Amino acid sequence: MDGSDMIARVEATLSELLSGTRPQSLFQAMRHAVFAGGKRVRPRLCLASAIAVGGNAEDAIFPACAIELLHSYTLVHDDLPSMDNDETRRGLPTVWRKFGEDTAILAGDALQSLAFQSAARSPRNAGAIVAELGAAGLGVVRGQVEDIHGDDTDFIYRHKTADLFVAAAAMGGYAGGGSSGQVECLRRYALNLGLAFQHEDDIIDGDSPFAEDVTRAKISDLTAAALDALVGLPGDTLPLETLAKRLVGRKR
Ligand code: GRG
């Protein structure tokens, strides 16, 4: 099965996980959050990490869905009036704008719970995968609080953005049956890629805290460090290499 087939499997599994009907507004809000055109970066990272340790991407489908569900919850809550107060995301009304603030809070909560249910259904190493997801969930909140109330850019990027990348890769590594040393290599890859991704996001949004040439140099160094971390992994690392190259220089 190639990469697009595997992402189609993730989409189908997400649909199944989100197929609840009652209360209708809750599930509509959750589906709006998950099926509104996200790039699926974290699930791709998770599946490709299972392959990089010599495992099977199929075993990483539930973890891949789990990390996308957690990511979706963070976006729903980040858009709320009490946080970023955003009215649109991906060219569509945000969940709170379309379904109300109360439903958006609850839809985010429910997406997070569903993420843990999905992680627990991993056919291999479910306990480690659930723990990894929990660490990322705490990490992203630490990053968000620092973003709202502090000013440590390194801390914010490390936790608000890179923690979910690190968890996606580690979860894929565990699902693929990787050793702890191999999972460490995946974490190093994902940390550097996550930081590069955030710097690229700043350029796309035009709000980089550094001059553009400084940011470009950082992205280049971080991408090189990410690729370097893959050396020695026992499986096919091409999907992770391709992902890194695509994310750097992307348009959205
Ligand atoms: C509310 C706990 C909590 C956390 C919010 C996700 C987040 C933290 C804030 C959103 C704003 C932001 C710039 C986050 C950094 C990570 C990032 C660039 C998220 C967007 O990820 P993409 O580009 O989104 O993968 P798509 O739309 O493709 O799913």
Q: Answer for the pair 159, 143: CB distance below 8 angstroms, yes or no.
A: yes
201 C-beta closer than 6 A to ligand 1: yes
How confident is residue 23, by pLDDT bands cut at 50, 70 and 90? very high
Residue 161 Cα to ligand 1 midpoint, Å, equals 7
Q: What phi, psi does 239 have (nearest 5°)?
A: -60, -40
- Lowest mean pLDDT: which of 126-135, 184-193, 205-214? 205-214
Question: How far, CA to CA in Å, does 73 sit from each of 67, 77, 106, 168?
Answer: 10, 6, 10, 15
Atom of ligand 1 nearest to the CA of 201: 18
Q: Is there a contact between 119 and 133 (Cβ–Cβ < 8 Å)?
A: yes
Kindly indicate the confidence band of residue 248, based on its pLDDT and cuts at 50, 70 and 90: confident
Can you give the pLDDT at residue 146? 97
CA angle 136, 46, 156 (to 5 degrees): 35
pLDDT given at position 149: 96
- pLDDT classification of 1: cutoffs 50, 70, 90: low
HSE-CB of 129 using CA atoms within 13 angstroms = 33
- Rounded to the nearest integer, the mean pLDDT of the chain is 95
* pLDDT over 80 (residue 106): yes
Is the shortest distance between the CB of 246 and ligand 1 below 6 Å? no
pLDDT reported for residue 179: 97
- Tell me how far the alpha carbon of residue 181 lies from the centroid of ligand 1, in angstroms: 29
More confident of the two residues 206 and 9: 9
pLDDT greater than 80 at residue 2? no
High-pLDDT (> 70) share of the chain, %: 99
- Rounded distance from Cα 74 to ligand 1 centre (Å): 7
- The pTM of this model reads 0.96
